[in-house]
Amino acid sequence: MFLKISNTIAGELRAVTGLPDVGLVEGGEHADLASTVAFSLAKTRKQNPAQISAELAATLSSRPELASVKVAAKGPYINFILGPGYIEETLREAVRPGYGSVPVRPGRVVLEHTSANPNGPLHVGHIRNTIIGDTLARCLKKAGHRVEVQYYVNDMGRQIAIVSWGFSHLGISRNEGEKGDHHVARVYIAANREIKSDPSIVEEIDSLMQDVESGDPAVSASFRSAVSQCLDGFKVTLERLGAYHDRFVWESDFIRNGDTERVLDGIKRLDECHTDGRMWLDLSEFGFEKEYVLRRSDGTSVYAARDLAYHIWKGRNFDRMIDVLGADHKLIGAQLIATLKLQGEKYPEIVYFEFVSLPEGSMSTRAGKFVSADQLLDEVTAKAFEEVTVRRPELDVDKRNAIARSVALAAIRYDIVKISPEKSTVFDWKEALDFERQSGPYIQYAYARACSILEKAGEFEEAYTLERESEIALAKHLAKFPYTIEMVVKELKPHLLAIYARELADLFNSFYHFEPVLKSEGLTRKSRLTLVKATQNTLGEALESLGIDAPRTM
């Protein structure tokens, strides 16, 4: 609704001024939308901008397309205030199930996220990737895109060789009840300690990497076993996080099926390719000084070569590729894109996020310095259970456990997704365990409240007459939901939805405290109930897109 009226107003302004850019901005407290076009016209027309805006406002007021919009000049600004017709149409749309969704669009999108190395459990840094990626996938689907979500399993890297070596040399057995990924971390940390005290082990690691690339069955099986064990642990964590992958793609498959060799053969023919024992690309025409090495002098391929094969495969099977990667991948991501361009292949859109560190410094799986996602989930869930028990002591344990799980997931996902990805953050237990303002549970609570009102109200006839300030502000925000989803998908910025949902909950809570719903009467009651229903529906859709449960009671 908001999108539609914005386009109409912009179109009218263009028609009236003849300018392509009509300076349409948010109106703040003055209006719903405003135009600053009078400033730019002031120069060419050599007139006072206030005079121009007054004239334009008068002209626009008489346009039939803007019949439901109040147009008024205020100084140099042209203000647009959306009227009752807009509110009514918004409410009619917002009460419908699936509000904000659009029909399926042509083309398929492949979105890769998380793809952490299987050398230890997912930690609070990795799950920033998971949550950004999963939220994007949900928003893309809501916006009508067909999406396949993939996890790229780095199963033949040096880290995995170290884990494999550790398993066969250190005899570290799995503890009772220990998750596979946590066990792998202990092996990995111990193996690194061994390497540090005896650097000659590095030769054994190198030899393992050569064996796996040449397809040695025993070594491959050993790698695969370690990776599978870790991945099984990841899957449990991802499930708890409410994040879903359609497919796990194994890096080694691109060696086994010959894709990597074929890709390297193709690259060999490029002018930018140099072979001096190793094989590398000169990407200086793209501004990269660094040599982009694809094959070692011992003949084995490096990660970049396999990644190239993976992306070419994705590009040929999908219409659009999106990768979610840590900011440490910026250089290699840009090199990957440059190389794909050289080959005339499709290249990915990459969403980067900055690092999450601990108060004591950066996280390191190798050094055992990390807070695992499992630990975070456990502690937040325990705290949530305490909270639920205090607030709802009458509920039985199962019910309280269910709410606690839902609240914990909301707290974790929201805490992470609300921060714009380009901001590096420091993990803070106090914030993670806070379920109040600007949190996921806060939004869930608004939803549960709306559900409670609707349940008590029973059947009612919908009506669309809103008069109070808090009602109108709420309804106007509902109108922006489809626009917000559009923006998230267009800009690949999931935090916009997080901010939107929080603002919606804020406005609903204010409305709730100012205007009685069930105790009001007649048209007012019907209209307010319709507003509550529209809000409940929109909050539900927003929460679903954020990967957060929408509990009817909490």
Residues 464-493 that bind RNA (CB under 7 A): 491, 493
Residue 401 interacts with RNA (CB under 7 A): yes or no: no
SS3 for 497-523, per residue? Answer: HHHHHHHHHHHHHHHHHHCCCCCCCHH
Residue 58 interacts with RNA (CB under 7 A): yes or no: no
Q: Nearest approach, Cβ of 108 to RNA (angstroms)?
A: 25
Q: Is 266 exposed, middle or buried (0-12, 13-18, 19+ CB in 10 A)?
A: middle
Q: Nearest approach, Cβ of 319 to RNA (angstroms)?
A: 23
Q: Which is nearer to RNA, 413 or 449 (CB)?
A: 449
Interhelix angle for 2-17 vs 481-491, to 10°?
80
Distances (CA, A) of 295 to 157, 236, 276, 292: 14, 35, 10, 9
Q: Nearest approach, Cβ of 267 to RNA (angstroms)?
A: 15
Total of residues contacting RNA (CB under 7 A)? 92
Residue 54 interacts with RNA (CB under 7 A): yes or no: no
Q: Which is nearer to RNA, 176 or 461 (CB)?
A: 461
Q: Across the strands, what pairs with 281?
A: 273, 292
Residue 331 interacts with RNA (CB under 7 A): yes or no: yes
Q: Exactly one of 168, 375, 420, 465 binds RNA (CB under 7 A); which one?
A: 420
* Residue 551 structure tokens: 């509990």
Interface map 260-289 toward RNA (x if CB under 7 A): -----------------xx----------x
Q: Across the strands, what pairs with 324?
A: 351
Q: Nearest approach, Cβ of 511 to RNA (angstroms)?
A: 7
Interhelix angle for 37-45 vs 2-17, to 10°?
10
Instruction: Give the separation between CA 461 and CA 183, rounded to whole angstroms.
Output: 59
Residue 329 interacts with RNA (CB under 7 A): yes or no: yes
Q: Nearest approach, Cβ of 104 to RNA (angstroms)?
A: 25
Q: Give the largest CA-CA distance in the chain.
A: 85
Nearest to 539 by CA among 494, 510, 506, 505: 505
* Residue 248 structure tokens: 């796990």
Nearest to 536 by CA among 456, 477, 454: 454
Residue 122 interacts with RNA (CB under 7 A): yes or no: no
Instruction: Give the separation between CA 179 and CA 366, rounded to whole angstroms.
Output: 18
44 CA to centre of own chain: 44
Q: Which stretch binds RNA (CB under 7 A): 152-160, 227-235, 261-269, 337-345?
A: 152-160
Q: Nearest approach, Cβ of 384 to RNA (angstroms)?
A: 5
Q: Which is nearer to RNA, 170 or 419 (CB)?
A: 419
Residue 293 interacts with RNA (CB under 7 A): yes or no: yes
Q: Which is nearer to RNA, 312 or 554 (CB)?
A: 554
Using CB under 7 A as the binding rule, the residues of this chain from 8 to 27 that contact RNA are 23, 25, 27
Q: Which stretch binds RNA (CB under 7 A): 218-226, 313-321, 419-427, 473-481?
A: 419-427
Using CB under 7 A as the binding rule, the residues of this chain from 493 to 532 that contact RNA are 493, 495-496, 499, 502, 506, 509-510, 512-519
Which three-class secondary structure state does DSSP give residue 146? strand
Q: Which stretch binds RNA (CB under 7 A): 6-14, 29-37, 215-223, 263-271?
A: 29-37
Using CB under 7 A as the binding rule, the residues of this chain from 221 to 250 that contact RNA are none
Residue 191 interacts with RNA (CB under 7 A): yes or no: no
Task: Tell me which amino acid residue 282 is.
Answer: D
Residue 70 interacts with RNA (CB under 7 A): yes or no: no
Q: Nearest approach, Cβ of 515 to RNA (angstroms)?
A: 6
Q: Which stretch binds RNA (CB under 7 A): 9-17, 131-139, 350-358, 476-484?
A: 350-358
* Residue 351 structure tokens: 């969403």
Instruction: Give the separation between CA 100 and CA 542, rounded to whole angstroms.
Output: 9
Q: Nearest approach, Cβ of 233 to RNA (angstroms)?
A: 17
Which three-class secondary structure state does DSSP give residue 79? strand
Q: Nearest approach, Cβ of 426 to RNA (angstroms)?
A: 7
Residue 355 interacts with RNA (CB under 7 A): yes or no: yes
Task: Tell me which amino acid residue 46 is.
Answer: K
Which three-class secondary structure state does DSSP give residue 550? coil
Q: Which stretch binds RNA (CB under 7 A): 59-67, 239-247, 262-270, 322-330?
A: 322-330
Q: Nearest approach, Cβ of 111 to RNA (angstroms)?
A: 19
Q: Which is nearer to RNA, 178 or 288 (CB)?
A: 288
The phi and psi torsions of 118 (rounded to 5 degrees) equal -80, 60
Phi-psi region of 107 (alpha: psi -120 to 50; beta: other; left: phi over 0): left
Q: Nearest approach, Cβ of 553 to RNA (angstroms)?
A: 4
DSSP secondary structure letter of residue 369: B
Q: Exactly one of 100, 125, 133, 157 binds RNA (CB under 7 A); which one?
A: 157
Q: Exactly one of 388, 417, 463, 539 binds RNA (CB under 7 A); which one?
A: 388
Nearest to 417 by CA among 113, 168, 102: 113
Instruction: Give the separation between CA 291 and CA 296, rounded to whole angstroms.
Output: 12
445 and 78 Cβ atoms separated by less than 8 Å = no
Using CB under 7 A as the binding rule, the residues of this chain from 433 to 452 that contact RNA are 435-438, 441-442, 445, 448-449, 451-452
Residue 34 interacts with RNA (CB under 7 A): yes or no: yes
DSSP secondary structure letter of residue 64: G
Q: Which is nearer to RNA, 262 or 290 (CB)?
A: 290
Instruction: Give the separation between CA 452 and CA 553, rounded to whole angstroms.
Output: 7
Q: Is 223 exposed, middle or buried (0-12, 13-18, 19+ CB in 10 A)?
A: buried
Residue 51 interacts with RNA (CB under 7 A): yes or no: no
Q: Nearest approach, Cβ of 173 to RNA (angstroms)?
A: 26
